[in-house]
Structure formats: structure tokens, C-alpha cells
Structure 1
Amino acid sequence: MDPIKGNGELAKEGISRLLANKQTKEELERIVHGTVREQFGLWKGKQVSKWVALESAILFTSNMYQLCDITIAVKAETPIRMSRVLKRDPFRSEKGFELLENLQREETTRQNDEADWHIDNSGNSSIIRELEVIYHQLDNIIQHKQ
């Protein structure tokens, strides 16, 4: 199956097959990650705000964290994430979710070990309050660097 449909959309099945082959996966990652780095750099250069954010489910394993001054891991327990994914995408199976979890295992470990901040997004605490605390800490860091 072709990884790109006739209308230009990505075909999940085709992409999955490419990612199953280690050599093809590495080549695809090289192309995609290189393009993302380049585009992020161009976009970042046009911004006039104090800081910008880069969201990535594979921030550490793709080495995109190297583009960041600080990193924030937003986390929730597996059953909560699975419930949210299945609610958002009812066509995704539990098996498909488990496959994604297996692919994310290294990323999750690295987030736990390497992220500067961790935010609990399980619904047990106020994510807004956690973001406010981080915002003020970042603001203080930036003010002291100037």
C-alpha cells in the first residue's frame, strides 16, 4: 500500500508498513525530522515573543529537544491516555494503542529522566495551576538572563 493516498493524505496503513522496516523507518525519520527542524527554525526566527513552544510526542528520541532551552513533559497514566485516544479516534483499536505505547516506551523513559518539568494531565490536579507556576519560573529565568 502506498503511504500517500491519491488526494495527498497520508495512508496510515502504508506509513505503518514503512515504519515496520528498520532501514525505511530510519530514512523516513531522517527526512521528516530534518524538515521539521528546518521549518521550526524558520518559524522561530520570525517570532517576537519572549519564548516559543515546540510540541512533539517524540521530543527526546528524535533529538528535537536539542532545539529547546527547557523541556516540559505532559503526562497521564496509560488507561487515561487510552480512554482519551479511543474517544477522539473511535476507529483506533486497543491493539493499535498498545502498539503506539510500545513505540513510545523509550520516549517515556527519557521524558521521565530528562524533562525539566513534568505536568500531570490525568485530571487529578489543575493543569492550569501547574502551567502558571512554570510560566512564572520561566519568566524569572528570562528576566535574569537579560
Structure 2
Amino acid sequence: MIIVGLTGGIGSGKTTVAKQFMALGIPVYIADDEAKKLMNRSKIIKRKLIQLFGEQAYINNKLNRPYLADKIFNNTSDLEKMNAIIHPIVATHFKKWVEKQKAPYVLKESAILFENDAYKNCDYIITVTAPKQLRIERLLKRDETSLEKIQAIMENQWNDNKKIEKSDFVIINKDLGETIHQVQLTHNKIVNFTQ
């Protein structure tokens, strides 16, 4: 099975692009969504996060997201420790998921595909980009967040140029019609590689 990594900075439109691939019949594994589910389901993750952040990491057996977000905000050491707990379990979950898929290829969507070295397990990489100001506008509209939080997240992610250097495909997500066209072209090329 060919594994294609799909990445891009926060607000670049990875989800929009992922939906276009899904419309073409390509299974998409959204790493962030699966990590959130596993953080509530996995006894191992739960135990280790409580050891790291204290009992307040969970309230009524559910992940205390605001508390954890506050703990890791501007604290790269705690963020790295948390990622070291979660990423190996997500990677194992992804491998099991891939085995069940019946398609020419699958997509693994992850904002930090490069930052956590997950790109090394991909056959091809697609990076989604958009102008920084457009990304900020999308995030302010989409999330209950602040400019300060957005900039802190952006600073913890690789910049677009660094991602593009290591990518096989780049999709510029400014206009939906143009994005759909770029997804179709990219899909056709990947399908050709699988034949």
C-alpha cells in the first residue's frame, strides 16, 4: 500500500484538501483526530499523561484539553514529552488502519508530519500552503483563539519553504475551485505511480 503524507501549517486548509481526496475514493487518516480519540481511549496514554501533568489532565475520565493546552502552550519541553507518549501509539494505530484499506493509496494527514519524523514512513508527501495572512484569518474565524496562540503554534511548526523542500507535491489552497483542480492532478499522478 502506498502511503502519502498530507501536511501543511495550521490554517493552510489540510482538511479541505483531505475532503477532496476522500471524494475521489481515497481513505484519509486524520492523525490529529485519531490522537484525540486515543487520548481518551488508551489506558497507556491516560496513565502516562497523568504521570506527566497530574490528575487534572483528565476530568470525569475525559481528557482536560484546556488544561493540557495551557500546560504545553509556550513549553516545548512538555510538548515534546507529550508527543513522545502519543505518537508511537498513533503510529501503531495507523499501521493497523492501513492494513484494512482497499485503495490504490492512502493519505495520512498530519500537521506535524515533518516535525515528528512521520514523513519517513511515507512514500510521497503533499504539502498544502496558503498565504500567512489568509491562514490567520481562517483560524480567527474557525477557532475561539487569539493571534498570540496562532503565532505560537506557527512558530512550533516548520515553515512552508522547509516543508516544500522535502515534498513531492504542493497544493496552494487559496481558491476552492483551483484547489480541487490541483487535488485531481495530484491524485492522477499518484495513481500512475501505483500502476
TM-score (norm 2): 0.65
**Counterpart residue identity of residue 98, structure 1:** Q
Contact 1:3–1:12 (CA under 8 A) maintained in structure 2: no
Counterpart-to-counterpart distance in 2, 1:30 and 1:4:
18
2:117 maps to which residue? 63
- SS of equivalent residue, structure 1 residue 53: strand
**Counterpart residue identity of residue 101, structure 1:** M
In the TM superposition, residue 5 of structure 1 has moved relative to its aligned partner by: 3.3
1:36 maps to which residue? 90
1:129-144 maps to which residues of 2 (within 5 A)?
129-143=181-195
Long gaps (5+) in structure 2:
1-52
Contact 2:127–2:171 (CA under 8 A) maintained in structure 1: yes
Percent of matched pairs sharing the same residue: 26
Counterpart-to-counterpart distance in 1, 2:116 and 2:73:
14
Higher relative contact order (CA 8 A, sep 6+): 2
More moved, 94-103 vs 36-45 = 94-103
- SS of equivalent residue, structure 2 residue 109: coil
1:24 maps to which residue? 78
Aligned CA-pair RMSD: 2.1
1:93 maps to which residue? 146
Counterpart-to-counterpart distance in 1, 2:61 and 2:137:
31
- SS of equivalent residue, structure 1 residue 52: strand
Contact 1:74–1:121 (CA under 8 A) maintained in structure 2: yes
In the TM superposition, residue 103 of structure 1 has moved relative to its aligned partner by: 1.1
Contact 2:74–2:152 (CA under 8 A) maintained in structure 1: no
In the TM superposition, residue 100 of structure 1 has moved relative to its aligned partner by: 1.1
2:163 maps to which residue? 111
TM-score (norm 1): 0.85
Counterpart-to-counterpart distance in 2, 1:86 and 1:61:
24
- SS of equivalent residue, structure 2 residue 114: coil
- SS of equivalent residue, structure 2 residue 154: helix
**Counterpart residue identity of residue 132, structure 2:** T
The structure-2 alpha-carbon separation of the partners of 1:107 and 1:8, relative to structure 1 and needing over 3 Å to count, comes to farther
1:80 maps to which residue? 134
**Residues 1:49 and 2:132 are matched in the alignment:** no
Contact 1:74–1:119 (CA under 8 A) maintained in structure 2: yes
Long gaps (5+) in structure 1:
none
Contact 1:71–1:116 (CA under 8 A) maintained in structure 2: yes
In the TM superposition, residue 23 of structure 1 has moved relative to its aligned partner by: 4.1
Greater percentage in strand: 2
